[in-house]
């Protein structure tokens, strides 16, 4: 934690850190010494509109979060791949916890991953049933999936003559000989240019 000092305020505990506001001016040398002696960072610890309060903060270890909230049940990511945080049983919301400690990183990596699909298009993009990876736009569908859905409702879908899929046209099918020839031509150009295919 951060030790008491006459120039520092009370210790404040957040979900991910401890901090103490600094209420007087310190020279750079004094700040640097305090940082090194206590393994803390000098940074902005509080914001209120345009005014900020500087102080010393320290990241909480995973062990202290486990003592407070219990063992984490899973880590969560947005469907776009952005990390959202850890879910603890005694906490209503996710805690966006990061760790540079190898032992803590191993614990976090061993947790099951849950994907949050909030804001994702509900459309299906191929015959395998894979879900669209665009943002929802209108009624839970992106513009492309809405167009496809409207065609399906109107009975205007056409099957690809090569693979029988209704998710793409015959002209863009990867089994179309013209598409295959065009791809081989592009690969030959890349090989001649010394680029990997």
User: 39-53, 85-99, 138-152: which has the minimum mean pLDDT?
Assistant: 138-152
Helix axes 62-69, 102-110, angle to 10 degrees: 50
What's the whole-number mean pLDDT along residues 138-145?
82
pLDDT reported for residue 21: 94
Mean pLDDT of 96-120: 89
Q: How many CB atoms lie within 10 A of CB 19?
A: 24
The mean predicted confidence, pLDDT, of the chain is 88
pLDDT at 174 over 90: no
User: What is the tens place of the pLDDT at every residue in 20-71?
Assistant: 999 999 999 999 999 999 999 999 999 988 899 999 999 999 999 999 999 9
pLDDT at 197 over 80: no
- Terminal-residue alpha carbon distance, the chain: 54
Per-residue model confidence (pLDDT) at position 34: 94
Q: Phi and psi of 180, rounded to 5°?
A: -65, -45
- The three-state secondary structure class of 147 is helix
3-class SS of residue 88: coil
Return the bridge partners of 46, or none: 53
Residue 166, SS3? coil
- The pLDDT of residue 19 is 94
Count of H-run helices and E-run strands, the chain: 5, 7
Cα-based angle 101, 79, 89 (whole degrees, multiple of 5): 55
In percent, how much of the chain has pLDDT > 70?
Answer: 99
Strand intervals (E) in the chain:
12-13, 17-21, 41-48, 51-59, 74-78, 83-87, 113-116
Burial class (CB in 10 A: 0-12, 13-18, 19+), 93: exposed
Mean pLDDT to the nearest integer, 77-84 = 91
d(CA 87, CA 73): 6
- Nearest-angstrom CA–CA distance, 64 and 51: 30
pLDDT of residue 38: 92
Task: Look up residue 42 and give its DSSP letter.
Answer: E
Is the pLDDT at 136 greater than 70, yes or no? yes
């Amino acid at each position: 934690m951060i030790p008491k000092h006459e120039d520092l305020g009370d210790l404040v505990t957040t979900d991910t850190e401890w901090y103490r506001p600094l209420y007087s001016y310190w020279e750079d040398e004094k700040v640097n010494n305090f940082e090194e002696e206590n393994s803390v960072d000098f940074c902005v610890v509080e914001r209120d509109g345009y005014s900020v309060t500087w102080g010393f903060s320290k990241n909480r270890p995973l062990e202290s979060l486990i003592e407070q909230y219990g063992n984490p049940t899973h880590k969560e990511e947005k469907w776009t791949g952005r990390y959202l945080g850890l879910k603890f049983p005694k906490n209503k919301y996710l805690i966006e916890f990061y760790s540079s400690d190898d032992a803590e990183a191993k614990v976090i990596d061993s947790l099951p991953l849950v994907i949050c699909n909030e804001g994702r298009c509900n459309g299906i993009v191929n015959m395998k049933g894979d879900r669209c990876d665009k943002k929802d736009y209108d009624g839970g569908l992106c513009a492309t999936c809405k167009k496809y859905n409207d065609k399906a409702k109107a009975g205007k879908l056409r099957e690809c003559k090569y693979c029988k899929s209704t998710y793409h046209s015959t002209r863009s099918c990867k089994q179309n000989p013209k598409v295959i020839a065009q791809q081989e031509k592009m690969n030959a150009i890349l090989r001649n240019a010394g680029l990997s295919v």
